[in-house]
A = this chain, B = another copy of it.
Amino acid sequence: MHDDLKLFTELAEKLIALETNHPVANPIDSQALYTTLDLTLNETPILDDELKHSLIKIIEHTPKTASKFFFNQLFGGRQGKATLGDLLSVMLNNSMYTYKVAGPQVGIEKTILKTICKMIGYSSASDGTFAPGGSMSNYMAMLMARDKYDPESNRKGITKPLIAYTSETSHYSISKNASFIGLGREHVRYIKANSKGEMDTEALEQQIKTDLDKGLLPFFVNATAGTTVMGAFDNVESISKITKQYDLWLHLDGAYCGSVIFSNKYKHLVKGIEHTDSFSLNAHKMLGTPLSCSILVVQDKSHLYRSFSNDADYLYQTDEDDFNPGKTSLQCGRRNDALKFWTLWKSIGTQGLEALVDKQFQLAAQARAYIKQHPDYTLYSFEHSISVCFNYKDIAAETLCTELYKHSKLMVGYGSFGGHTFVRMVTINSVLDSQDIINFFETIETFYKNRHTKNT
């Protein structure tokens, strides 16, 4: 293992250098991948030196998500202390089902969950778990709601005419999960959004009434803190009044921007969160931990036990339920996703997490200001969003994103809302500073300045 650790350090240093010197890897056309790189798996072993060279070539061609030119997805950058924690998880290799096998790692996970529950004003009956991604956090929430409002469903299958609600701008996992839990996609109502992408609360109530009139059983509302394209925040407080009135489960999908709970300046964006039944956030998004670190907390932990516990005597052989987190998880064997977040949080404190969040809003504000003052850009984003959506000149967003990527200039994606398609640049990498934002725009301008001279 010593030699492998040494090789790891060498390759990691190589990667870090590449992130600066070649921040956007030359993309290989998918058709040419297998002829460009030797990815074959063969009968016989290879020499360590061959393996090393093979890994170096792969690293060279792998997209650099921690570079200053990566704005393509809802994650990016690297928090050193979080990475340290995750590297240790790989070495320790505990499975998070039992206290016997995971020991203090269970306490680490529980401390994160309990601290978040307390921060958002959940009751003492609250608890949570780590899910394999934000989609799966939403899945677990919808499943717990199903089992609460149709208690026979886990034994008999769904027996009641359940209806779920989410906004038309919410994440695609809501519809996928409705299929997964046996509800069926047709039993989800997509509530229209306002001009900023926030759920229209009145339309929600109207739809609930309509469904009740039809004899259907509304049971679950998904609100979003940070919609996928616009980064909009649904009004949790207004929605929670409706879910209380009609006795529905309220889940807040904060995969993208739920980490605003760590910021005194921005936590007002999820005002009313203490009234939700469940809440999820991805620390691998705003907080920059390695993938994945998805947290789900629940106001009343009995729902976790009801939906996810199972008797398995061969597994749970010591300690009480509360310290055997396999009883409340989706999976059985489960990777340790907690240590990376704990290491980061312990190291920089809640103050440090707050600074990461605030920085992202500050960078987004700077980007919006840049766009507004520049006549060649059109802005589609609003205040309080770290998704900065824009178009440049009359270049189609898809064209711009693809060309900049194919020419290794930068990585950014596009999205659509309100009848417009635009570039979506996300200021989620807290390691960046003002100059990096200016560089982003100047990269676009320089690229199209040269190209336009040639092509038009």
Contact = CB atoms under 8 A, between A and B. Distances in A.
Interface string A87-123: 1101111110001111111111001100100000000
Contacts of A134: 332-333
Nearest to A424: B314
Contact of A88 (B8, B173, B352): B8
> What interface size band does chain A fall in?
35 or more
A51 B346 contact: yes
Contacts of A318: 402, 405
Q: Is the interface of A mostly helix, strand, loop or mixed?
A: helix
A294 to B, nearest CB: 8
A185 interface: yes
Contacts of A91: 11-12, 15, 83, 87
Contacts of A312: 172
A190 interface: no
Interface stretch (A74-82, A198-206, A439-447): A74-82
A135 B179 CA distance: 18
A62 interface: yes
Interface string A165-181: 00000011101100111
Contact of A332 (B48, B86, B133, B156): B133
Contacts of A54: 346
Copies of this chain, tallied across the complex: 2
Nearest to A42: B349
Interface string A281-316: 010100000111000000000000001101111110
Interface stretch (A65-73, A232-240, A242-250, A367-375): A65-73
Given A45-B351, A46-B349, A93-B65, A416 B313 contact: yes
A366 interface: no
A100 B87 contact: no
A116 to B, nearest CB: 9
A333 to B, nearest CB: 5
A7 B65 contact: no
Contacts of A66: 93
